């Protein structure tokens, strides 16, 4: 077990499953006290809470005042903020099928929740003169896909927001970075209402067919594991990444072409 974050406090959004749960576990394993925010809990999150270094805060970050309540639970000190909450609804009907309300819901969840939580957490970091904000983006920020057109736009804005903020707060001791995964073994892709199930139903395929095609588009031939994304977040949260800010780190198994 690492102790690189011993004595530090971290806030993680969307912490009950997938990448968020893996990040919560990694930060706690490195010695941090973790405030884990999510709408509901899970067996994995409950197990971490029972160990004593993780506190679960039930919040729906679509509610405007939820960010403040989550940050207040940290007790006035936040060393690390991980903005993870998000959703990627598959738009199998094409662009013309996506309503204004769906656009608003996607942009709010994938962009504005991070804006609100960061706004709430930043004053304590500024007062301390240090802190690390790590936000989960997506390869779709730079490789937009019509199947997730509103998600792609929201994540592109999220990465741009993080880059702009890094320039403002970097001189004040606060680092801001993004981690952009490709396909990851989470419910977002593999769950009952996930991308694979939705796309397969519309295309007359099986979910396994969709997963195989996505895996085949990577150089490594597989999805990333949540723990692999969490390891990258952990590195950026700690002092080993002390001079890294304003950067976007892609973990996609070579999904984005480089030729």
Q: Which of 151, 161, 223, 255 is catalytic?
A: 151
Strand ranges across the sheet with 248-251: 54-58, 33-38, 9-13, 80-83, 131-136, 174-181, 248-251
Residue showing tokens 């005042």: 65
Asked whether 139 and 223 are in contact (CB, 8 A), the reply is: no
Asked whether 41 and 64 are in contact (CB, 8 A), the reply is: no
Asked whether 139 and 250 are in contact (CB, 8 A), the reply is: yes
End-to-end CA distance of the chain: 40
Six token digits for residue 134? 């790590």
What is the distance between the alpha carbons of residues 7 and 176, in angstroms, rounded to a whole number?
21
103 Cβ contact list (under 8 Å, min separation 6): 150
Give catalytic status of residue 151 as yes or no: yes
Catalytic residue positions, numbered: 151
């Amino acid at each position: 077990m690492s102790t690189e974050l011993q004595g530090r406090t971290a806030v993680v959004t969307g912490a009950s499953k997938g990448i968020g749960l893996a990040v919560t576990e990694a930060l706690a394993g490195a010695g941090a006290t973790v405030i884990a925010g999510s709408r509901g809990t899970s067996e994995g999150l409950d197990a971490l809470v029972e160990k004593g270094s993780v506190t679960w805060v039930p919040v729906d970050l679509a509610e405007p005042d939820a960010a403040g309540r989550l940050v207040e639970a940290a007790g006035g000190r936040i060393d690390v903020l991980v903005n993870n909450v998000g959703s990627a609804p598959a738009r199998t009907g094409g662009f013309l099928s996506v309503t204004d309300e769906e656009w608003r819901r996607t942009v709010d969840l994938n962009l504005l929740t991070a804006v609100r939580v960061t706004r709430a957490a930043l004053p304590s970091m500024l007062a301390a003169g240090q802190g690390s904000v790590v936000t989960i983006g997506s390869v779709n920020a730079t490789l937009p896909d019509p199947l997730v057109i509103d998600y792609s736009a929201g994540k592109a804005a999220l990465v741009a927001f993080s880059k702009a903020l890094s320039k403002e707060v970097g001189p004040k001791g606060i680092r801001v970075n993004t981690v952009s995964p490709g396909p990851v073994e989470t419910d977002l892709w593999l769950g009952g209402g996930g991308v694979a199930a939705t796309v397969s139903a519309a295309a007359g395929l099986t979910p396994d067919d969709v997963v195989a095609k996505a895996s085949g588009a990577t150089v490594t031939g597989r999805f990333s594991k949540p723990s692999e994304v969490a390891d990258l977040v952990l590195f950026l949260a700690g002092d080993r990444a002390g001079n890294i800010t304003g950067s976007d780190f892609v973990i996609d198994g070579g999904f984005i072409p480089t030729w």
